[in-house]
Structures are given as C-alpha cells and as structure tokens.
Amino acid sequence: EWKICDPETGRQLSQSDLPNGEENKTMNEHMPPADESNNIEPSPPRMKAVHSVIVDSFLAVWDRIGDMDIKQVDAELMTTPLFANALNLVPSIPTGEISNDILKKIGSLFHILYRSFVLQLKKINDITEFGGLLTSKDNIHRFLSNLVEASSTMQVNQEQISDVIYKCVRCCMICTTTVNSIELDDGMEEKLDYHNFCKSDIDVISRMLTCKNGVVAPSHSKALKWLGSMIDRSRNLSILLEVIYPSEVIRTLCEILHASGISRSPGGRISKCGRDLGLYTVFALAAFVQPDAKCWSPLQPFPVQILVRTTDVSMNSSSLRDVKHLYKLRVKVHSEVGSQLLSNGVGELIALLADEINERVHQKQNNGGETDEEFDTGEEDADQSTICCILKILMHACRSSAPLSKKITVTKIVFQKHRDTDIFTILLWGFSSRGLHLIEQYFATELLSVILRRGVLPKRQIWLCAQTLFPILHDANDTALLSALGTFFAEIIESCNIDESALGGNGDPEALDSQDLELWNLVVHGALTPRCSDSIFRLFSNNATDEDVDKAHMLTSYNIRAQGLLDSGIVFLLRVASKAAAQSKTNKVGAVRTEEIKMFLSNFEHDRAWEAFDGMMETGGGDLLSPWGLFCFLKLLRIVREMQCNETQTEIAVNEHLSLHLVNLLGLKHLEYLFLWPEVVGGGSNAVKALVHATVKVLGIPFAHSVSDELLIDTQEILYDTNCVEKLLGVLRFVFSTKELHLEASVLELPISFLSRLVTSSTHFGSQFVDADGMMVIKECGMLNTSYSPSLLIDTLLIVSQLARSSQTNYDCILKADLLTEFYELMQHPESMVRAKALNCIGNLCRHSTLFYEHFISPLDKKSNTILGGIIRGLSDPDNYVRRFACFAIGNAAFHNDDLYDALRPAIPLLVQNLHSDEDKTRSNAGGALGNLVRNSDELCKDLCTHEAPWELFELAMTETSTASRRIVLFSLGNFCVYPECFDFLIEAEPTFVDELEHLYDEVVADEVSRRNIRRIIAKIEALENEGDEE
C-alpha cells in the first residue's frame, strides 16, 4: 500500500497533515448549508479522490526533483528519500489519469534511474545491502505490468508509451543483472528469495511477450534481451529454469518465432524488425536448451581420469543431487522446446539458419573466397553465433522429440528462389561452401546423426549427406568435429542399410568415383581403408589440450556429461567390425576371413593403433572418455584380441601397451568413483559390473584360448608385476562392501573365475593371494555362502583347494579363515559339482599334514555334525563324481596317522562298495583309501576283513582295466599284507592268492609300476612267513 509522503523530506504524512484548508473551504462555499427548506442531510466536506492525490503527490515530488541539479547522476541517487518516494508513487498512479505530460515525467524518471543503476553496477563490489534495489525493481514491475495491461486503451501518445515501456524494461534488466552479480554474504543470501525474484521477472516478461499490440511489441526485443541476460548471469540457474518451465515462456517464444517470419516476402526476404525479433528469440531458446551456467559447480572429471590425477577428486553427495536434478530439468526443458517447436517456429528457425549461412557465404565470396578477419575471429565466439544457436536448438529438441525430427525432414522453405528447400540442402551447402565454423560443423553433424537415428530419412538423402561429410572426415583435425563425424558414420553403418537405391541413376556402385566407392564399401561392407582409419586414430592420438577439454565442457548441456568426445571413434570401430563380420555370414564363407575382416584387422598389425590406445589410457582419455566409451573400448579390444589370439604380434602389443592400464582399471579408487558417478550419465552399480566384467574378459583371453606357452608366461609375468591378484581381491571387497547399495553379487563371478585361473596356473599367484590376505577376503565376503551361484562357489573352492594342495605353509591362513562350517554346508549343496569340489578341497586340507585332523571331528553345531561325518555321507552320494572325491578325502584323512581311524570305521563298507564303481578314478580312490586305513596301524583290520575289503581289493586288482587304478589297488593290497590277520583272510578266501599275483605279474610286463607293487606284496608276505618261522 502506498503512503503519502512529504515531497521535500520524504517523511510519511499523518492524516492531519493531508491537504485541506483553503481548497476545502472553497468547495464548502458553493454548497448551501443543510436546513429545513432544502431537506439536505448534512455531509462532511468533499475530499479530492485518492488517485488525484497520488498524481498531485507525484507531480509535487517531480517539481522538487526538477529544482535539483541532477546533471551528475550518482549511484546513491535512487536511495535518497525524494527519488525513492517518486518511484514508490509511480505504480499507484491510475493509468487512466496518466497524461502525455505525466508520461514524459515518468520517462525522465526512469532515464535518471537507469543512469544511477549503471553506476551502481560499476561499483558492484561496494554494495552491502540490496533491499532498496529490490524495492525499486518491484515498483518498476508493478508499473510496467499496469502500463502493458492498459497500453491499448490509454488516450495518450502511443510512441511515448512505447518509449516508457522500453525504459522500464531497461531498468528491470539492469536491476536483475545487478542482483545476479552481487556477491552475497550469508545474511544477504537469507534475505533474497531467489525463486520469487525470478518469478517476478518472468511474470512481467511473459506479460509483455504475450501482448501483441503496436505499443508493447516494439519492446519485445528488449524483453527478450532481458530474458537472455537472466539466463546468462543467473546466480542459480536451476531455480530460474524451474520457474521458466511451467510459465509457458517457451511456448510464447516459439509463437514469437513463428510470427517473426510473417514479415517475409514471397521470395523469402525478412524485414529487419522481424529478423531481429527472431534472432533474440533464438538466443533465448538456445540459452534454455544449452545454458552456459557459470553458477553450477565445476564439471566432475570422468572416472577413468581418476587413475592419472595426482590429486584426489571427491564426488560429494551435493554434486550427485545436482546431476540428478539437472538431468530431470534438462529432460523437461528439452521436451517442452521440442513440443512447442512442433506447433510453432520450426519453419522460421530453418529459414533463419538459411539466411545466416547465406550471408556468411556471400561475405566470404565478396572477399574473393578468402576468410576475412571477422570470419577468423568469429571462430573464437562461434558457439554464440546465430547459426550455432539454431543448430543447438534443433539438435537438442530433435533428440527429445521424434515427431519434431520427422517434421524437420519435410519442412520446406524459400531459399535462393527455390520454394522447396529442406534443412539438409542448407546444411550440406554450408559444409561444401565452407560457410560453417568448426563448432557449427560439430552441431550440424550431431543434428544429422540424431535425425539418422530416428530412421526418417530416405536412403538417397542419407547417401548425399555421407558424400558431403566423407571428405571432411579425411581432412578433419579438430577433436570435437572428428568425434561428431565418427558418430555420424557409425550411425550409417549400424542402422541405415544403404543399398543401390541410395545411389540414384542406374544404382551401379562400380560407376562411382574412387572416393565415393571407398565410402560405399565402408558403409555397406565395413571395409575400413587406411585413409579412413587414419582419421579415427587421429582422434585418439590428439593429445587432449586444455582447449579440447574446455571445448568438451562447452558442448555439455546442463552441466551433464554422459559421453566423451573419444567415445564415438571407438563406437565407429566397433560398428565397422560388426559390419565386416556380417559379410562372412552373408557370403557363407565359413571360417575363412573375408576381405573386410582382413582390412579391419590390418589396422591393428602396426604399432600406430596400439600406441594411440596406450596414449589414450596413459592420459585417462584426457577427460574425453566416458564410462560408456571405456566399456566400448574394452569390448573392441576383446573382439580384436579374440580374432587375433594366435597372432604373436597382437599379444605382444597388448602386453606392451595395454595390460598395465587394464589392470589399473580394477583399482579401488577408480571403482569407487565410478560407483558414485550418477547412473543417469553412465555410472553406478551397473557401470561397475560392466567395467569389471569387460576388463576381466580382456585380461583372461590368453588363458581361455590356446596361445603359446611363451606368450602365456609373458602375460602371467605382467599380471604378477602389476599385482593383478591384489586388485581382484580389492574388487571383491568393494563389491561386498556395497552390496546394500544394490550392487549385484553376480559382479563377483567373473573376478573370482579369473582369480581362480591365475591361482591355479602358477604358485606365484597363489603366494600373492595369500600375502594379500585373500583367505580373509573369502571369509569376509562370504564367498562360500550357499546362497551364491554354483559357478562362484566352485571357483572359490578351486582357489582354496589349490592353496591347500600346493603348500603346507598355506594351511595356517586357511585355518585362520575358519571356513569349516561353510565346507560342511557345501557338502550338502544341491549341485553335485559343488559337493564334489568341496570334498576335493577338504581332501587337500590334509594332504600335507595332520593340522586339520582334530578339526574334522570337532562338532560344528548343536547336532554335533562334523566334517568327517559329511565326508562319509559323500561316499554314498548318488553322483559318481561326488563319491570319487569323498573317497579321496577319506584316503587323505587316514594317510598321516591313525588318529581318525576309529571315526573312519563307518566308512569301510562304503569304500568297499565304491570299488565296484563304473568310474575308474572312483575305484582308484576307494582302493587308495582302504589301503590308508591299514597304513599306520592294524586298528581297523578286523572291520576291514569283516567287510571283505582285502579280498575285494584282490579281485579288483586281477580284473582292473585301468592301469592307474590297478597300480593303486596293488599298492593298497601290499599295505594289507603287512598284517597276518589280513593275509590269513586273503589265503582263506583265495588259497591261490600268491599264484594269481605271480600270474598277473607275468601279464603286465609293460607296466613296471604294477610289477613293482606286486613284488612289494610278495616281499611283505615273505616277511610275514619269516616272522612266523622265527616264532
């Protein structure tokens, strides 16, 4: 509410101070007093209307201002009571009472106000309080809104109204800029409600832009500038965009863009006013789709960069929230721009693009074809050029709107006297006439790629685009442009299915010139020539400069980076490989490599490719390689390595240039950062899983394919030197620690499998595993928990088993890990292979010593279940493979001493039963176990004879067809023959026992081990007989 103030002092007047006196007296003189004759009710003196008081007050204040010498306006002028009072009165002046004279005075006030605001902006660092500035802005907003609403009905000079509106907008614009530029302390920050601040501005701008009368329309351009400055200088762009999105400003801008084209002549020429309005609208829309937000936090480096950074880079939770919020905001704004352009403005946008390119080309031609200084310097600010802004709008809008992508292909404009010119003709003309700056070429190429991806272009049009861009690919050196061209041609190769119909004419590829034929073979057959591959490897070889990184940041939208500039080159090579491989299926040439595959692989026969990849990984991609790009690189590497796994040169190159980098990708620092990297831009748990799997697959190729022993050893040495085992254990620990963050346990499978391959391939890796506390990792991560997949359990058991088998020194760390309960549970696992491997592992735990013997008979639970009890149950398992390793475990449990003989007594009948197994190794293990039951004492001789174990062994020895099994059975039989009780049982069961053995001795002439074991039996029998004779 306004309060009447003294125009001289600015002091608020009380009711008694209000004007009365003479003026009221005059009015009273003309009014007869009430009496009985006129029957008039007495009434108080009539007061002048409040509105008139406001006008009078303003005029009085203005008169006082006019008496002042204000030629030298200063920054504090508007804070004086007199000027503040004048500005407070302006919004309350009824528009119906504004005359030309008052309007002129108001215009003069805003002119003075603007000059004062400019000086205030220059002294921005001295501002410590902005309450008066916000009040001034609010008063101007209110007056401007009132003036715009009443502009068509006011009975004053229309041009004068337009002038005042213009001056109001100018003041509003500089007020907004000042507030956005002030460095606020905490106290000032609390006083500023930035959401309402932005909403107030946007409401006024929206009201102005939707008013189309001739009074307000001249200021539309200035209002658009105001809007643009708000976006460019916003202190919190997220809040501003959240205000703009629901305000229908975007729809209004598209309507203005459409209306600006109405002034075009039939020949396509546009008026200066229409052009200016269109251009300001373009700048505003471009700022919406790709804002240059200096207020947002600096871009975080891609995760792979962490490996080469000397300083730690943290990903805090606020950064994560910003990315997620901005991603949603970007989707909303881009979708809205696409939707509104679909209704209005796309035709004029294309027409403006044509005008700008045409003007650029003519300017160049007028200079004799040479690039003039303006064009040269324009490259520095080319990202803000009209052409670039239009291309940004179209690219982002088409990316979010499939219908708009389709509409853009069929929208025709009048261009160079042709009435049916489409955007492709314009863009290709811009390329071929060199009328586009490098960054404009980037956005133009990206726009074409977006439209290609929609599948709405005819093949003929696609071919024409490819023809124009192919020579540019050959010559390009700019990282961003090479990246965009890689995306474009990768898209054509992948999804466009170019055929003869694209060529026009007779559609004969043989009639093409050499360059077009090279292009044809690339996109149709996947034939990668050295000239083309040179361009792509140039992308990887370009050492990323600060300029490249700045450009990459400049190309981001909403401070979000999901892809890097290097990604497209890798994807291009992947698509070529896929296309080339498809030719072999088409031609049905079987295992024979096609010419296209040979051409593709030839690019990796030289150090150039591997050095380029080495340099890329050495620098972490120069912060131009995204998580998705890195994953594609690993996929490409796997394809090349698998295709050439028998090529010594390729394996040597990988070991020399990439193996170290690949192992480092599994580093904990990288995985943690990748996990925190927002999922919406390629990070999170799925990214970690993909990276780990892809890396392990590449590293494991020499172990999975039949490479030479020399190459395998070289690979093992590199993996050993790079501490690959330790890093794999770090992966397991990290995955386990982030399980609650929904990181799938299946991530563990491939690392464990590869770890198993390493440990089982060399004792050196086993030592690294132990030194890195690998057994405790298995325990902590619950790697032997029955809930995990059978494959993971088996690989883990193989590791433990190998450690136990390879050295007694590893027993202590296995015992310390306390895994016996897990072993017992695994012996009951529903998968037979898991049961078998568990028994094998347990058998190896007593291969070298008796350390675990006492633990095998210790109760594990309240039911007094024991490891040994589980082993004995395994002897009767329905699966032959399980029984085989149960026999093996029993044999080792009886090998070193007789401590477990009594507990092993129930195993005797089951071991005898397994002597009749169909599988020779099961028979062999059973025979060996029975022999060990009498190896250390005669404690079990009676039980063994009761179950006819000696005779069963003899029968098996005489009939066994497996040499290995026969040898073991004969050796065990020799153990029995040490004891008279067992020998007597044999003689009683088979009186010709010795004769039969001697006959067998003659039959197995070729098997010296069996013959030696038979001689051992006979020697023990003779020893028994000698002992009997002595007695």
**Cα–Cα distance measured from residue 242 to residue 195, given in angstroms and rounded to the nearest whole number:** 9
User: Has residue 234 been placed in a domain?
Assistant: yes
**CATH code of the domain containing 831:** 1.25.10.10
Looking at residue 818, the DSSP 8-state letter turns out to be -
Res 69: pLDDT = 63
**Cα–Cα distance measured from residue 5 to residue 878, given in angstroms and rounded to the nearest whole number:** 104
Query: Phi first, then psi: what are they for 624, rounded to 5°?
Result: -120, 10
**pLDDT tens track for 868-886:** 999 999 999 999 999 999 9
Residues 929 and 888 both lie in one domain = no
User: Has residue 885 been placed in a domain?
Assistant: yes
Residues 516 and 534 both lie in one domain = yes
Q: Which residues of the chain have pLDDT under 50?
A: 1-40, 43, 45-50, 371-377, 589
CA distances from 560 to 128, 481, 569, 686, 941 (A): 34, 20, 20, 19, 79
User: Has residue 270 been placed in a domain?
Assistant: yes
**Cα–Cα distance measured from residue 461 to residue 448, given in angstroms and rounded to the nearest whole number:** 11
Residues 916 and 946 both lie in one domain = yes
- Dihedral through CA 61, CA 135, CA 199, CA 230, nearest 10? 90
* Token pair recorded at residue 518: 């090279």
Residues 390 and 485 both lie in one domain = no
Residues 475 and 546 both lie in one domain = yes
- Dihedral through CA 547, CA 549, CA 551, CA 554, nearest 10? -140
- Which of 202, 228, 247 terminates a domain? The answer is 247
- Which of 844, 875, 897 terminates a domain? The answer is 897
Domain count, the chain: 6
Helices then strands, counting H and E runs in the chain, come out as 54, 2
**pLDDT tens track for 861-871:** 888 899 999 99
Residues 887 and 913 both lie in one domain = no
Res 438: pLDDT = 93
- Which of 399, 422, 457 terminates a domain? The answer is 457
Burial of 780 (0-12, 13-18, 19+ CB in 10 A): middle
Burial of 317 (0-12, 13-18, 19+ CB in 10 A): exposed
User: Has residue 796 been placed in a domain?
Assistant: yes
Which strand (E) or helix (H) includes residue 415?
strand 413-415
Residues 890 and 856 both lie in one domain = yes
User: Has residue 706 been placed in a domain?
Assistant: yes
CA distances from 876 to 311, 881, 951 (A): 61, 11, 21
**Cα–Cα distance measured from residue 900 to residue 857, given in angstroms and rounded to the nearest whole number:** 8
Residues 927 and 1003 both lie in one domain = yes
Residues 156 and 75 both lie in one domain = yes
DSSP letter string, 111-180: HHHHHHHHHHHHTGGG----HHHHHHHHHHHHHHHHHHHHTTT--S-HHHHHHHHHHHHHHHHHHHHHHH
**pTM here?**
0.84
User: Has residue 42 been placed in a domain?
Assistant: no
**Cα–Cα distance measured from residue 866 to residue 207, given in angstroms and rounded to the nearest whole number:** 84
The residue whose two tokens read 């090349």 is 640
Q: How many residues does the chain have?
A: 1031
User: Has residue 833 been placed in a domain?
Assistant: yes
Residues 856 and 795 both lie in one domain = no
CA distances from 790 to 749, 783, 840, 886 (A): 10, 11, 15, 19
Residues 719 and 663: beta-carbon distance below 8 Å: yes
| Bridge partners for 557 per DSSP | 560
**Cα–Cα distance measured from residue 409 to residue 420, given in angstroms and rounded to the nearest whole number:** 12
User: In 3D, which of 437, 431, 427 has the Cα closest to residue 383?
Assistant: 437
Query: Phi first, then psi: what are they for 418, rounded to 5°?
Result: -105, 130
CB atoms within 10 A of CB 257: 27
Residues 179 and 78 both lie in one domain = yes
The letter for the amino acid at 940 is L
Domain of 725?
Answer: 658-808
Residues 773 and 817: beta-carbon distance below 8 Å: no
Residues 427 and 281 both lie in one domain = yes
The three-state secondary structure class of 5 is strand
User: Has residue 16 been placed in a domain?
Assistant: no
